Chains A and B, each alone.
Chain A
């Protein structure tokens, strides 16, 4: 399963659990009411546990996100093949026709007009990585292609009237 599918699954499971909790609580309100002072102590106990669980989840997620972020990955591939690419309304200039397979590659992005995005779509039309192209700045996107075939690049930062048609492609082999 691609990462997007896993994210969607995570979202779906957590959402269903949330909705179930809201339904259960709403349902509980239908019976004879209890005095608020009676339910508060147990509720505050649950809240304390919930606080520590959420805080622990946040600490773990923060640590993992830092370790797996594209920034740390960028530093880990100093011997990559570099492709400088210039974005402008509504083309990507210098996109290579062929990109090497299973070799660290750097797409060095800048823009000569407005902000653009540079998102690489695989054969299943899923984003495998992206970076912004910004006037006056250079952004490096590092990728190692593990599958051969045709890849499409789409602009993902709104850049004007033909934004939806700003795209390019390359072959990995």
Chain B
């Protein structure tokens, strides 16, 4: 079976009806990735510059939170100097940048720990919760989306459509508290903290709706394509049509979504972490903002920016792998 390599304006049959993944030209891909990674540097500088200035614009500073009435203002002023906060903001930025370039992100104002250590201590808990939740979401939403599309208009479809909207509308903090009341307090099935099941359940229910709807829409679009009609006309059994041909192609936007969700995997969920006392990145980030813990704020920002770019890159590469029609053609 011939595999087309030149993009046609409107293909009337799907070349990738073979189950193989066609990997793009290696040499080309390497150059493409390197170019994207080099673009990362000006991007990070821009993001860090803006964040740094906005951060300093917020009223108050790290010492304003020491509100013990017995603390003398001269002491706060001295500590501000020790932290270099008396210098002009642009100077402070360049000092930060110089250190960040050699991966020295400084020390937390609150704990005195190196920022990198602070972040890496909280990452495992977040990664655990987020990856398990994400995995479960995919496990549920892809089949539900597919079946909803295939059986469009059926009871199944209507029921899950309504459920999707209900789940999308429920505020996660309310759901978290209800779950805690029912499962921890009344039924005593799980403890209010320490166990992954309850926070995971809340995350899954809250996140389910989005991907389900995406999958359903994507599947419907694919099912409406000409080549599906051709496959059916050829006499292929229905489940081959759906699972071998339509499904794979409907997953393309999901691949993109996965890549774009990379920062969320690392960013955590503040509300859920607070309610279930889960020691994750969400709480670290928010408390850093409230306490004006500048080094930690900058560390988390840089990490997030990095993840967004890498996530985008992975999505683009994944996209190119899954859909051989896509080539990032270089101008020769």
Whether chain B is bound by chain A comes out as no
